[in-house]
Structure 1
Amino acid sequence: MLKPSRPQLGRYYLLLSLALALLFPTPSAAQTEMGLEELITLALEQNYQIKIFRNAERVADNANTIGNAGMLPTVVLNAEQRRAINNSRQQFFTGDSQQANNASRNSSSIGVEANWIIFDGLAMFARRERLEQLAVLSRADTRFLVEQTVADLAQAYYQLQRETELLKAFQQSLDVSQERVRFAEQTLAIGTGNELDLQLARVDRNTDSSLVVNQSILIGEVTLAINRLLNRDLTAEIIPTDSLRLSTNLRLPELLESAQSNNAGVKQQRLAEMLAQTEIDILNGTRYPEVSLFGRYDYGRQVNEIGFLASSRTFGPEYGIRVRFNLFAGNRDKIARENAVILAESEQLRTSDVQLQVAQAVRAAHLRWSRSLELARLEQASLEAARAALEIAQRQLELSAITSLDFRIIQLNALNAETRFLEARFTAKNQEIELLRLSGKVLEG
Structure 2
Amino acid sequence: MALYVQKYGGTSVGSVERIEAVADRVKRFRDQGHDVVVVVSAMSGETNRLIELAQQISPEPTPREMDTLLATGEQVTIALLSMALNRRECPARSYTGWQIGIRTDSAHTKARIQDIDTDSMQRELAAGRVVVVAGFQGVDDGGNITTLGRGGSDTTGVALAAALKADECQIYTDVDGVYTTDPRVVESARRMDQVTFEEMLEMASLGSKVLQIRAVEFAGKYSVPLRVLSSFKEGPGTLITLEGDDAMEKPVISGIAFNRDESKLSVMGVPDLPGVASRILGPVSAANIEVDMIVQNISEDGSTDFTFTVHRNDFRRTESILKNITDDLGAREVLGDDRIAKVSIVGVGMRSHAGVASRMFDALAAESINIQLISTSEIKISVVIEEKYLELAVRALHSAFGLDAVEETS
TM-score band by shorter chain is under 0.3
Question: Is the radius of gyration larger for structure 1 or structure 2?
Answer: 1
Which has the higher relative contact order, 1 or 2, with Cα contacts under 8 A spaced 6 or more apart? 1
Instruction: Give the structure with the larger helix fraction.
Output: 1
Give the number of the structure whose residues are more often strand, by fraction. 2
TM-score by length of 1: 0.18
In the superposition, the TM-score normalised over structure 2's length comes to: 0.19
